[in-house]
Structures are given as structure tokens and as C-alpha cells.
A and B are shown apart, each in its own frame.
Chain A
Amino acid sequence: MEQKASLAIQRQRATRKAAAIFLAPVMILLVVYIFYPIIDTFITSTYKWNGISANKTFIGLGNWSTLIHDMNFWIAFKNNMIIMILSIIIQIPLGLAMATFLDFGGKKLNIFKVLWFIPLLMSSVAIGFLFSYALATNGGIFSTISKLFGGGNIDLLGNPKFALYTVIGVICWQFAPFYMVYCMAGYSNISTDVFEASRIDGATRGQYFWNVALPLMIPSLKSAAILSMVGSLKYFDLIYVMTGGGPGTSTELMATYMYKNSFSQFNMGYGSAIAGGMFILISLIALFTMKILNRNAED
């Protein structure tokens, strides 16, 4: 008996040792590149520091009280929220519509799938550059079309009123195909039996979509919404390249504001406070939404 017990303990120890060896490299990486930096960002946020010189001045919560009263940060946050809401409202239904079209049409519409997917192949940086020229006032796509109909040049990115919505348009252009593929995966999870049964019962395709397919897709649409939400709050590359947050603060985002403060104006203490604020806001919003969505799921 005793020997058996000690054998079990020995095995358990061996398992634990093996687990530690297998997990150690990843844990070290995460500590070095994620956990430690998060703590360090909060520490740096209590200093006034330009990122280069050795002398940092401890100013306590000074940066944080500046941040709370900084209108530009809250404008950036508001812009992030607008992008988030409009992205969800536009991208997901658009992706769903494209996927539905492809699902109903079958293999012969494959060419649409291929061509619709292509925007997703470009990097955000390349898209940013491409559109800053394609939407230019002089010689851009829209200006060219407007001239064709006798109108003048159209300035989309330079006008503070339209800039943010233009940017959202570009974001939707880039990511709609992602949600298309995502919804197509949702469709392929619905078994063909369900489709056949509803057709035998005499449902039209429209009825099948609204009464059968859509309710079955709700869980995957929910996680698509979370994905789009977290993505919109972290958004950076495309806007940094395309507008740099301008004109004025009309397309400023939390991430671009943080980057400019830290690496253009070399105000790293304040930049860290912005990054910290961004981290807190994103975590709160993510937790809050997941809680709401999970509660609905339990009902």
C-alpha cells in the first residue's frame, strides 16, 4: 500500500516537473514582454520624463490628473467609441449579407468570394497610404467621379466634419471581408439537414434566413461583435499613416494620441499615463460587454 502511494506521488512530481519545464519559456516571455511592461508603464506614468535623459522627476499622480482633465484624450476616446459602434453596425451586417449571398448562390459565385477577400491581404499601413492618395482632393477617386458629373473636387480627409467617417469607411472596406469569411464559417456549421428540413416544410429562402439561420448564427455574431469591439478600441496603424489623427483632433484615437505624446513630443511620462488610461478603459469595456452578453446567453 505504502509503496503504491509513494509511486503515485512520484508520478505526480514527475508530471509537475515536466509541466514546469514545458511552460517555463512561454511564461518567461510573457513576463518580460507583457506583464513587466504593464507594471513599468504604470510606474513611468508617475514621472515627468522625456525618454532620453537620465533624470526623471517624480510627480506622483500629476500625469493622471492632467489626463483626466485633458479634453484631447476624451475626444480621442469618443472617436474610438464612434469607430467601435459604427464598425459593429456596418461591418457585421455587411459581412453577413455577403456570406448569405455566397451561401445561397453556391459554388458558381466563387469569383465574388475571391475578389471580395482581397482587401484583407493588404497591411493596414499599405491601405493607409493607398487611401491617402486614392481619396486625395486632387486626383483622388471621388474627385474624379465628381468631376465626371460636373462637380468640383471633394476633400474627404481634410475636412474635420467628414474625416472620421471617411476613415471608418476605409476600416469597413478593409474588414468587411473578414466578417464575411467569419459568417461563412457560421453557415457551414449549420447542418444541411436543418436547411433541407425547412425547405421541405415549405419555407422560402427569406424565411429560412430570418427564422432558421439567423437565430442559429447569433452566438457567432456575438463573438464577432466582441472581436470588432476590442479591435476598434486598439486601432492604430491605419489612422496613424492616413491622417495622423488630424485634421486637428478629428480623427485622433487613444493609441495615436499616446504614440504622438511619447515618441514625437518625447513626453514619455504622460504617454505612459495615456497608455495606462487606455488599458483601464479597454479592460473595463471588455469585461462589461462580456458580462452583458453572457447574462443574455443564460436567459
Chain B
Amino acid sequence: MDEIKKSKIKKIISWTIAFILALICLVVSFMPFVFMALNSFKEKFEMLVSGVFALPESLNWSNYKEVISGNFFRFFSNSVIVLAISLTLLLFLSACASYPLSRFKFKWANPIYGLIVACMSIPIHITLIPVFKMTQKIGLYDSIWAMIGPYVAFGVPISVFILTSFMKGIPREIEESMEIDGCNKYQMFFKMIIPLSKPGLSTLAIYNGVNMWNEFSFAYTLTQTAENRTLPLAVWEFQGQYSMNIPMIMAVLTLSVLPMIILFIFAQDKLVKGMTAGAVKG
């Protein structure tokens, strides 16, 4: 009897310690958001006068109004356009490449697959100067179209990696029966492979979508004027405009996180799964 009591006490103590540590983690990971949201409602000098964690005197929406009436929607729509086009292209082209790599028998399949997958660890900085030169040469510099090429190219390795292993799991029997019905390889791709790969494609859409939505290096290098820039650079532009008005910048930051938070609320499990797709082996 004593033994059981002892182990019960031990259990309670260890759970309490774990719980306290977990709460500390929670405060640490959440505090910056409180800082951001709280201060975005304050007046310019209110933050410094009343302290950063004081509640704002009133729910002051004027910062948000000013940000939205500024260039914010331009940044937002640029981001949406770049994302929509790049993501569609990326998913379609990756599916095209993964189909022969996963289901055809030909000599070059393995070397090509290895080459594509090896690109995953290449740092984008080695391509930055040549891509910058190229973009200028073909006249795309400082337009939103400049980002599409690099975004698609750097999304390819991981997408092909995941889609190839996904397509390998599609049963051969379906393919064979369609072959007997007289389908050629191209019909097979559109009628069977793409519909059956939808779960893999949706995971990849989230993974690549989040990456493209947040991408900074190419967007910063390949564009120059505010009206051609994407959302991550909005803060940059607004900071130049309101350099000392910290609450205003906090409002911009809050607005730029909002789409992701909304997505997270509505599709939590899918988003979590998608964002860690790169980590799941095969």
C-alpha cells in the first residue's frame, strides 16, 4: 500500500514540475505576441510613457486604419499573385517530373532523381548574383514576375522528393487496367496520377505556400520600388516611413501575421502537417 502511495505522490510532483515548465515555455513563446498586439493599439508616445505592458488607454484603431489606407493592400495583392502563380506552376511541374521518376523504368531515373534531391541543401545565396543579373538582362527586374522563376525552381527539389515517394505508393493494378483500356502515359497522368496524388499535393501546397509567403531574400534583391514588393517587405517600407512610430510598426506586423493566424485557426491539423512536410522522410 505504501509503495503505491509513494509512487502516486511522485507522479503528482513530477507532473507539477512539468506543468510549471510548460507554462514558462508558454509565457516565453506568447509574450512577444502580447507585446506586438498590445502596443499596436497605442498612440505614438503612449508606449514609452505608460510602459510597454500597460493596457492601451483605449482601443485605438487609427494605426490600423492608416496602414490599410497606405500601401498595405498593394503588398498583400502582390503576395497573393506571386503565390498563386508560383504555387500552381510548382505543383504541376513537380507532379510532371515525379511521374516518370516514380513509375517508369528507364536508365536515367535514379541519377536524375538524385541530382534533383541533392539540390535541397544548396544555399540560395550562391545563385543570388547570377539570378539578379539574369533578371535585369531579361527586363523583369523590379516587377513581381521576377520572383516566380526562383520560387518555383527552389521549391522543386523537396516537392519532387515528396511526390515521388507518394506516387510510388499508388497501386500498379490501377495503371495496368487503364493500360488495357487503351490509355497512354499522358492520359494516365491526368486521369489517374494527379487525382490520386491530391493528398500529397495539398501537403506540398501548404509547405511551399508558407515558404513563398514568407520569402525575403529574392524578393528583397529582385525588386526595388514599394509597389512591386511583397508582404514580408511591407514592414521594411513602413519602417522607413514611420521610423520612430513603434506602435504603427507593430500594427503592420500584426496585420502581416494575421492571414497565417486565420489559416491556422481554420486548418490547424493540415497546416501543422504541411509545414513539417520537409521533415518527414519519404
Contact = CB atoms under 8 A, between A and B. Distances in A.
Contacts of A164: none
Contact of B239 (A129, A182, A204): A129
Interface stretch (A23-31, A64-72, A244-252): A23-31
Interface stretch (B58-66, B68-76, B194-202, B245-253): B245-253
A32 B153 contact: yes
Interface string A5-37: 000000010111011001101110110111011
A259 B218 CA distance: 11
A156 to B, nearest CB: 14
Contacts of A123: 213-214, 216, 232, 256
B182 interface: no
Given A116-B29, A144-B51, A144-B53, A122 B126 contact: no
B35 A115 contact: no
B127 A29 contact: no
In this complex, the interface size class of chain B, counting residues with CB under 8 Å from chain A, is 35 or more
Most A-side CB within 10 Å, residue of B14, B36, B48: B36
B205 interface: no
Interface string B225-241: 00000001101100100
Contact of A259 (B97, B119, B125): B125
B112 interface: yes
A269 B88 CA distance: 36
A134 B108 CA distance: 53
B121 A282 contact: yes
B129 interface: yes
Given A15-B106, A144-B52, A234 B123 contact: yes
Given A123-B232, A129-B253, A141-B31, A34 B276 contact: no
Contact of B93 (A26, A117, A119): A26
A22 B125 contact: no
Contacts of A120: 275
Nearest to B92: A25
Nearest to A235: B123
A234 B154 CA distance: 14
Contacts of A40: 129-130, 133
B185 A29 contact: no
Interface stretch (A82-90, A192-200, A273-281): A273-281
B94 A26 contact: yes
B127 A37 contact: yes
A167 interface: no
A223 interface: yes
Given A139-B47, A234-B123, A275-B128, A173 B104 contact: no
Contact of A26 (B33, B126, B160, B280): B160
A263 B221 contact: yes
Nearest to B39: A133
B261 A233 contact: no
A10 B7 CA distance: 73
Contacts of A263: 132, 221
Contacts of A173: 28-29, 32
A233 B26 contact: no
A124 B104 contact: no
A268 interface: yes
A181 interface: yes
B52 A140 contact: yes
Nearest to A169: B28
A216 interface: no
B156 interface: yes
B268 interface: yes
B153 A34 contact: yes
Interface in A192-238: 204, 206, 220, 223-224, 227, 230, 233-234, 236-237
Contacts of A23: 96-97, 100-101, 112
A117 B253 contact: no
Contacts of B33: 118
Interface in B80-127: 93-94, 96-97, 99-101, 104-106, 108-109, 112, 116, 119, 121-127
Contacts of A133: 35, 246, 249-250
B131 A33 contact: yes
B275 A181 contact: yes
Given A130-B253, A182-B276, 13 more contacts: A14-B185, A18-B185, A23-B101, A29-B93, A29-B152, A30-B153, A41-B127, A41-B129, A51-B132, A116-B26, A141-B52, A272-B129, A275-B128
The 7 closest A-B CB pairs, nearest first, are A123-B214, A33-B153, A37-B130, A37-B127, A19-B100, A26-B97, A40-B130
17 contacts: A18-B104, A22-B189, A30-B153, A33-B152, A34-B119, A36-B130, A37-B127, A116-B26, A118-B261, A121-B260, A124-B214, A125-B216, A138-B48, A178-B276, A240-B216, A258-B125, A278-B125
Interface of B: 7, 14, 18, 21-22, 25-26, 28-33, 35-36, 47-48, 51-53, 93-94, 96-97, 99-101, 104-106, 108-109, 112, 116, 119, 121-134, 149-150, 152-154, 156, 160, 185-186, 189, 213-214, 216-217, 221, 232-233, 235-236, 239, 246, 249-250, 253, 256-257, 260-261, 264, 268, 272, 275-276, 278-281
